[in-house]
């Protein structure tokens, strides 16, 4: 007699390995794969930042003790920093310190790097968030409209705007914006996050000046902060707009050429519904990835904008650290920016799988 495996059943008498059990197993496998992917990606980021810290022609010991320190002091500091150990030991110590939240002490500020990053990162987050909102709110409709009017004058104008966003240097656009809208027209606030008069009047809660001023009930400070934020966020938003509009137009052109769109038009469905209901919905999934990558790019690529507008964010912090050969601050800021990029990318992937059954 042939052997038949015993079927494991639940309390209700249904087989355990039914459709529900297999589905739960797949979900658990997906979650585990996601966690391992994030872990290995972050480990790779740690390896890259560690390697950068070793190949950059800046001596971290000299940055601490100075170039006139005696040789004995130099060697003592080198041993204290663990630089006398083999590279693999230094890397393992670096990984352990990062995982414990220890990023070292900044030579420039004399404070822990993690504390500095908690102070400056919200400013970058606030500016990049407003920039991506501007890019999405304007870029997506522009891309859709350009695709639906392919070859028209408005399509050519939108394409030129997109090309302008790719070709124009960020520092030039920022300086021109300051010269026109701040110095000449005085429509916006100047460099910095607030006027000097309001500096320190709002207690930081979230680190986001717009949010903290509303929490404190200081509407005057809110509008002052918004006037300072408007121009740098608009410059970032313009570059994001150019990328999002171009990608949206490309996605829409592909969908508008599909047979189901032609069928909808033949049935007499209004053009507005054909565009926004039939052609636009399928591109929502790839648009999420585009917007996520654009947002991550704004967070990591705002160094030049923050320098021009004296914006106290992570880009400005990184620039000052580089000028002062402050490698602990440079590596800490690089690590945070990389971690944010990984996080946004993984969230985009998760949303992609959630919204598109084919990806699951």
Whole-number pLDDT of residue 292: 86
Domain end call among 74, 99, 124: 99
Same domain, 119 and 94: no
Give the residue carrying structure tokens 């938003």: 237
Whole-number pLDDT of residue 351: 76
Helix (H, G, I), strand (E, B) or coil at 338: helix
Whole-number pLDDT of residue 358: 60
Same domain, 198 and 281: yes
CB 158 within 8 A of CB 142: yes
Q: Please, which residues have CB within 8 angstroms of residue 37's CB and are 6 or more apart in sequence?
A: 346
Residues in the chain with pLDDT < 50?
1-3, 16
Rounded to whole angstroms, how far apart are CA atoms 183 and 173? Answer: 14
Whole-number pLDDT of residue 360: 56
Whole-number pLDDT of residue 1: 47
- Please list, residue by residue across 141-164, b when 16 or more beta carbons sit within 10 angstroms of its beta carbon and e when fewer do: ebbbbbbbeeeeeebeebbebbee
pTM as predicted: 0.79
pLDDT in tens, 128-160: 999 999 999 999 999 999 998 888 898 899 888
- 205 occurs within a structural domain: yes
- 301 occurs within a structural domain: yes
- 21 occurs within a structural domain: no
Helix (H, G, I), strand (E, B) or coil at 141: helix
- 14 occurs within a structural domain: no
Same domain, 117 and 95: no
Give the residue carrying structure tokens 């309390």: 11
CB 280 within 8 A of CB 230: no
Cα torsion angle, 331, 336, 341, 342, sign:
positive
Give the residue carrying structure tokens 């920093």: 81
CB 60 within 8 A of CB 83: yes
- 11 occurs within a structural domain: no
Q: Please, which residues have CB within 8 angstroms of residue 94's CB and are 6 or more apart in sequence?
A: 46, 50
Query: Average model confidence (pLDDT) for the chain?
Result: 82
Rounded to whole angstroms, how far apart are CA atoms 49 and 63? Answer: 18
Same domain, 95 and 195: no
Same domain, 68 and 188: no
- 174 occurs within a structural domain: yes
Domain end call among 70, 99, 128: 99
SS3 string, 229-280, reads HHHHHHHHHHHHHHHHHHHHHHHHHHHHCCHHHHHHHHCCCCHHHHHHHHHC
Same domain, 221 and 334: yes
Rounded to whole angstroms, how far apart are CA atoms 121 and 306? Answer: 12
Q: CA torsion, points 239, 243, 244, 248, in degrees to nearest 10?
A: 150
- 24 occurs within a structural domain: no
Domain end call among 49, 68, 99: 99
Number of Cβ within 10 Å of residue 314's Cβ equals 29
Whole-number pLDDT of residue 359: 56
From residue 221, how far is each of 57, 167, 202, 210, 312 by CA, in Å?
44, 36, 8, 8, 17
- 190 occurs within a structural domain: yes
Rounded to whole angstroms, how far apart are CA atoms 344 and 296? Answer: 7
Same domain, 154 and 216: yes
Rounded to whole angstroms, how far apart are CA atoms 220 and 231? Answer: 18
Same domain, 166 and 273: yes
SS3 string, 35-89, reads HHHHHHHHHHHHHHHHHHHHHCCCCHHHHHHCCCCCHHHHHHHHHHCCCCCCHHH
Same domain, 145 and 199: yes
DSSP 172-221: HHHHHHIIIIIIIS--S--SSSS-GGGTT-S--SSS-HHHHHHHTT-HHH
Same domain, 217 and 178: yes
Structural domain total, the chain: 2
The CATH number of the domain holding residue 233 is: 1.10.3720.10
Same domain, 158 and 188: yes
Same domain, 87 and 203: no
Range of the domain at 37: 32-99
């Amino acid at each position: 007699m042939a052997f038949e495996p015993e079927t494991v059943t639940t309390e209700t008498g249904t087989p355990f390995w039914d459709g529900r059990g297999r589905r739960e197993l797949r979900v658990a496998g997906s979650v585990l794969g996601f966690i391992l992917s994030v872990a290995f990606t972050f480990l790779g980021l740690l390896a890259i930042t560690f390697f950068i810290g070793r190949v950059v022609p800046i001596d971290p010991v000299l940055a601490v003790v100075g170039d006139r320190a005696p040789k004995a002091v130099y060697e003592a500091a080198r041993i204290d920093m663990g630089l006398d150990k083999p590279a693999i030991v230094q890397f393992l110590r670096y990984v352990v310190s990062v995982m414990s939240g220890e990023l070292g002490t900044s030579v420039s500020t004399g404070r822990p790097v993690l504390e500095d990053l908690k102070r400056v990162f919200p400013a970058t987050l606030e500016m990049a968030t407003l920039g991506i909102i501007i890019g999405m709110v304007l870029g997506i409709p522009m891309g859709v409209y350009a695709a639906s009017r392919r070859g028209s004058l408005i399509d050519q104008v939108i394409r030129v705007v997109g090309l302008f966003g790719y070709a124009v240097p960020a520092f030039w656009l920022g300086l021109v914006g300051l010269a026109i809208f701040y110095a000449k027209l005085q429509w916006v606030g100047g460099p910095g996050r607030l006027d000097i008069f309001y500096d320190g009047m709002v207690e930081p809660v979230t680190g986001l000046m717009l949010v903290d001023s509303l929490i404190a009930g200081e509407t005057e400070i809110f509008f002052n902060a918004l006037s300072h934020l408007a121009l740098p966020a608009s410059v970032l938003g313009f570059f994001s707009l150019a990328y999002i509009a171009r990608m949206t137009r490309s996605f829409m052109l592909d969908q508008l050429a599909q047979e189901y769109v032609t069928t909808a038009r033949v049935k007499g469905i209004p053009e507005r519904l054909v565009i926004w209901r039939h052609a636009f919905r399928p591109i929502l999934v790839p648009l999420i990835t585009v917007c996520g990558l654009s947002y991550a790019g704004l967070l990591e690529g705002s160094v030049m904008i923050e320098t021009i507008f004296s914006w106290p964010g992570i880009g400005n912090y990184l620039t000052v650290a580089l000028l002062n050969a402050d490698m602990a601050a440079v590596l800490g800021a690089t690590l945070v920016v990389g971690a944010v990029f990984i996080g946004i990318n993984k969230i985009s992937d998760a949303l992609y799988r959630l919204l598109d059954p084919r990806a699951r």
